[in-house]
Structure 1
Amino acid sequence: MLKNLVYTIPKNHHSEECLKELLTSHTEIKFVSLVGIDLSGNDTDEKIPIKIFLDDINGFLKGAVQTDGSSVVFPGIATLNNAKVDMLADTEVNWFIDYNYENIDEKTGKPIGTLRIPCFLIYEGKAIDSRHILKASIDYMKESLLKFFKNYPELLAPYKITVDDIDDIEATSATELEFWVKTPQEKAHTEELSTSQVLQEQYWTRTKGCVRTALEELMVLMDKYGLEPEMGHKEVGGVKATLSKDGNLTHIMEQLEIDWKYADAIQAGDNEIFARILTRETFRRHGLDVNFLAKPIDGVAGSGEHTHLSIALKLKNGKRINLFAPTKEHFLSVFGYASVMGVLKNYEVINPFVSATNDSFRRLKPGFEAPICIVTSIGHSVDIPSRNRTILLGVIRDNEAPLATRFELRAPNPHTNTYLVLATLFMASMDGISYAITNNKTEDNLLAELSKDSGIETDYLEKDRSYRSEEDVFEDYTEEERNKLFGKAPATVYENLTSINNYPEKLKALKAGNIFTDKIISSYATGVERRWITEIIARIIPNYCEEIRSYKMLHSIEKSFDVDVTRWEHVNKLRYYLMKDSYSNKSLFTKIHEAVDIKDYETVSRLQVEMDTKMNELRELYINYKKNLLDI
């Protein structure tokens, strides 16, 4: 069945003639779906019969399809009284066919497929979607670099080329996906998971049973779609499954990771969206739930999605030059150093696009290699590349393969909007590059500035901050030292969003070239704020209430000791503080509700931190209480 299916339609086959020939000869492809990405990273999906597409292919490619913009995340832009959004197909990327292996076409015996066509979302003549913002940022970067190369021809001298030798400038990226799989209804046992993690019982161990089968099937499918998977393996989280009487594994709870090859930055975003779909559907066919949350279980390592990027020159003779790789005995080139500096200096306004959910902040805590400090590591020496996993922005180098030189932002998670993050990274990189070029900075100048100590004033980076560390930032610095040297990390979505208003000078880096407009930034922030509040009120607090109700008194008066009574009193007191109102006192949950009602979001943010802290304290108290009971 898999041999006779069409998995992708490459960009050189997007003409009306090619599409008609392919789709009429593969009648198992019965639907078309135009895929637009809103500001929250949600992808649209619809089922349009293939006959309608074949009757008006050019119309589809030129934006004949429309959607209701009020049903996706564009607050303040597409409103109920003016919500029409046109969907313009992107013909410069690969298109995927999404197959339903549970719905077999009677005539062909093949699974029914839906052609997914990535598109731009156009509102009142202007593109407003995440894919277009990334495309615009790349176009801005290319135009800016070409202008610099023309005005400063000495920049290309180390490569022994001129601007006329350049065919294109390529922005490439790759992501890696971590996720949890489990049998349905399986509940997390935090102590067992935490113990297994500390003992490293799961990391890189052999996959078994249905997990192995699903992982292998997924990697085969990814290869057929041209995603070129490079590795699939167990991550640090998980516990050993149980073998049932019929020889099948049950009580599965494991964390996995899948890596695949880099691509053009926009294509990389599309690949990631489709890789998530493939992952979820493949494991579901094997009876397993897939969870893409950043921190599904408190006290256990979360799931990241490290985002890699690089910039290269494509020459007319076919050769490629990595602009980040050094041309002399150095860690990086001028472009590489400057890009790192641009990202680090402006990260306060990048971070709102990286960590935009309550879930993401559960992962970004000190420990578990959480990348919360605005700092990089480039290596102790040029000969030995860094693999410091405690920093925010890693520099990946291979002295034997200059084309592999790239940056790795370690903060994103599986629900991060990769398109917007990459757009902010390329814009911030150009801010650093512009500084370096217009101020005639050399590699030595930039390395010295990047490596400066706190208190030293420089032309670009902030005086009272430090930006490079080759040490373990969690083991070798106190919390006070980290906050002073690298800046205090935001604790909530609200605190993160305030950076947009608190750092207007840094925001200029994103707004250059009119890429991140005031309207786009405002719409994005409004959407994030709404989701933050809605999750707290409609999900987090109700879930906490259910959890608190499950913490019941388990000891009997006759068999209990004083310590049991005392421990339960501590548990119960905290239960009441969190959830129970009286005429004289309001619970913490009620205080949060009231702050939301009057839109006092600063208070909501402060109380949310207290709420999460108290819930963790309650869990620990209840565990200690149960440990001393014989009869439960």
Structure 2
Amino acid sequence: MGKMIYSIKAEYHDVESLTKILGDHPEIQFVSLMGVDIGGNGTDEKIPVKLFIKDMEEMLKYGIQTDGSSVELQGIADLGDARVDLLPDTECTWFVDYNYEYYNEENGLPVGTLKIPSFIIHNNKMVCSRSVLKRAEVNFKKEISGLLKKAPHIGESLGFKYEDLDEVLLTVATELEMWVKTPEQSADFEELHASQVLKEQYWKRTMGMVRTVLEKIMGLLELYDLKPEMAHKEVGGITNKIDAKGRITHVMEQLEIDWRFSSPLQAADNEIFIKELIEDQFRHHGLEVLFKAKPIEGVAGNGEHTHLGAAVRLKDDNKVNLFSPKDMRDDYLSEIGYGALMGILKNYEVINPIVSATNDAFNRLKPGFEAPVCTVTSLGGAKDQPSRNRSVLIGVIRNIDNKNTTRFELRSPNPYSNTYLVVAACIQGMLDGITSVIDGGMDCKM
């Protein structure tokens, strides 16, 4: 068996490089242009790789036409005006989605589909979730650069001059929670509730098939260069049972998987691919994955805490965290950090319908659990003792010995929240708060 490839980075998205890569890997038999509609659903189609290679230059430049009436583009594409184009995004990472139940006869490797994140275009306008986030990110970087030029003392207070600025950076990471269970079996509610109250499951050792699949997933994330950071059991679940034939039954466990941060658009793309990978791996081993916010009423729901950070890269390639004060022991946040935090809180009535877009999402946000129910934050009891309050809407993550770690953790999203739109809304909220702070001449002493 030859060596499989798992991703193709942006620097290899030219016709010559792609033709060689696909020619060297006959197991990659299909290409799929993945647009993401307003509901956060990724499209999937199978284009034979031979056709893609033949028409590659045209497809990369103009995309492909398809029907948009069946995806969530309400008020945009309907039956009377349904045509949309899928335009490949050549600036992000493309992943190869392998089918481990179907093998290529030529080299014995699993058949793969090259998934290309794309923009959905209707009447010459980008109308998808990916384009909303891209515009928000571009606008944030442009406006912050302008504000730093307008108020050079802000940059100087953080240790750099505006003339040394090369690029404004945004980082995003998500923590994915899920329930895993055996299909068509249910656990006793009283047993689940008692286990949660007694904290019998949280961070306990995984066993049996759940452990096997979890370890396989972590290995695959490494192969895809998604840099997994941690996987563990969450607060919900019960101990597995074994029937008379030695088979594990009544699997009902809550898990969390985390991986490294990335740029906003890449982070959201990564999440869609990882969720599909997780579902495929557990289903391949006979287990069902539930990403609903509240799969079981009365016990812990699934969150997807979303981390947001901002920095600048200087011309000497050094990076400065915009949320960290010059002296971490002198203040909790910088002026920009305070502005960004208060901007999200001030605008949360507008952001919330995007974060919690379903009844299921609100079912999770109830008193008595770790999910937030109030629009509040917590800075910490003292500047050298950062808060880790797990009930706030948005947490401030900071390490007094490492300025680069300062970021915000929005705790209200769930796995079915549209991360593209959630992050876009938060970026706009942060920008509103930062603009108010700088235009108002406020500083950390006020």
Aligning the two structures, in what range does the TM-score lie when normalised by the shorter sequence? over 0.9
> Match of 2:382, SS?
coil
2:211: which partner in 1? 212
1:228 paired residue number? 227
SS across alignment from 2:257: strand
Whole-angstrom CA distance in 2 between matches of 1:89 and 1:229? 26
1:326-475 aligned at under 5 Å gives the runs: 326-328=325-327, 329-445=330-446
What SS does the corresponding residue of 1:443 show, helix, strand or coil?
Answer: coil
For residue 188 of structure 1, what is the amino acid of its counterpart?
A: A
Contact 2:232–2:255 (8 Å) recurs in 1: yes
Q: How does 1:429-578 map to 2 (within 5 A)?
A: 429-445=430-446
- 2:73 partner SS: coil
**Offset of 1:63 from its aligned partner?**
2.6
CA deviation string 1:542-595 (max 9, x = no partner): xxxxxxxxxxxxxxxxxxxxxxxxxxxxxxxxxxxxxxxxxxxxxxxxxxxxxx
Match of 1:198 in 2: 197
Aligned to 1:313: 312
- Please give the alpha-carbon distance, in whole angstroms, between the structure 1 residues aligned to 2:248 and 2:62: 49
SS of residue paired to 2:66:
strand
Q: Contact 1:294 / 1:303 at 8 angstroms: preserved in 2?
A: yes
For 2:417 and 2:337, locate their aligned partners in 1 and report how far apart those are by CA, in whole Å. Answer: 24
Hey, what's the Cα distance between the residues in 1 that align with 2:445 and 2:149?
24
Q: Deviations over 1:406-445 (max 9, x none)?
A: 0000000000000000000000000000000011100122
User: Residue type matched to 1:82 in 2?
Assistant: D
Task: State the distance in 2 between where 1:263 and 1:396 align.
Answer: 17
- For 2:380, what is the secondary structure of its paired residue? coil
Residue 42 (structure 1) aligns with: 41
Q: Which amino acid aligns with 2:206?
A: T
Name the TM-score, length of structure 2 as normaliser.
0.98
Distance in 1, matches of 2:397 and 2:42, equals 31
In structure 2, what is the Cα distance between the partners aligned to 1:67 and 1:164? 46
Structure 1 residue runs of 4 or more that deviate by more than 6 Å after TM superposition: none
Instruction: State the Cα distance separating 1:299 from its structure 2 match.
Output: 0.7
Cα distance in 2 for residues equivalent to 1:59 and 1:269? 27
Letter in 1 for 2:187: A
**Counterparts of residues 589-604 of structure 1 (less than 5 Å):** none
Check the 8 A contact 1:37/1:44 in 2, yes or no.
yes
Task: Determine helix, strand or coil for the equivalent of 1:412.
Answer: coil
Partners of 1:68 and 1:85 within 8 A in 2: yes
Q: Which amino acid aligns with 2:369?
A: F
Name the structure where helix makes up a greater proportion of residues: 1
Shift of 1:246: 4.3
> Comparing both chains, which one has the higher relative contact order based on Cα–Cα distances under 8 Å and sequence gaps of 6 or more?
2
| Identity score, percent | 52
Query: Secondary structure of the equivalent of 2:396?
Result: strand
Tell me whether 1:25 sits opposite 2:10 in the alignment: no
1:95–1:117 contact (8 Å) kept in structure 2: yes
**Would the aligned equivalents of 1:355 and 1:416 in 2 still touch at CA under 8 Å?**
yes
CA contact (8 A) 2:187 2:250 kept: no
Q: CA deviation at 1:400?
A: 1.4
In 2, Cα distance between the equivalents of 1:111 and 1:423? 36
Distance 2:445 2:426 in 1: 23
Mapped to 2, the partners of 1:90 and 1:348 lie a distance apart of: 32
Letter in 2 for 1:229: P
Secondary structure of 1:73's partner?
Answer: coil
Q: 1:261 and 2:260 equivalent?
A: yes
Give the Cα separation in 1 of the matches to 2:382 and 2:307: 22
Whole-angstrom distance in 2 between the partners of 1:47 and 1:421: 29
Aligned twin of 2:50 = 51
1:104 corresponding residue in structure 2: 103
Partner of 1:237: 236
Aligned to 2:89: 90
Which structure has the larger Rg over C-alpha atoms? Answer: 1
Report the CA distance shift for 1:14/1:75 in structure 2 as closer, same or farther (over 3 A). Answer: same
CA distance in 2 between counterparts of 1:182 and 1:134 reads 34
Aligned positions, number: 444
Q: Distance in 2 between matches of 1:52 and 1:188?
A: 49
TM-score, normalised via structure 1 length: 0.69
What displacement does 1:401 show?
1.4
Would the aligned equivalents of 2:320 and 2:404 in 1 still touch at CA under 8 Å? yes
CA distance in 1, matches of 2:311, 2:12: 26
1:288 paired with 2:296, answer no
Distance 1:399 1:244 in 2: 52
* Alignment gaps of 5+ in structure 1: 446-632
Aligned to 1:134: 133
Are 2:178 and 1:161 equivalent residues in the alignment? no
Distance 1:242 1:154 in 2: 63
Aligned counterparts of 1:93 and 1:64: Cα–Cα separation in 2 = 16
Tell me the CA shift for residue 131 of structure 1: 0.7
Give the distance between the partners of 2:63 and 2:205, measured in 1 at CA: 50
Higher strand share: 2
User: 2: CA distance between counterparts of 1:79 and 1:210?
Assistant: 45
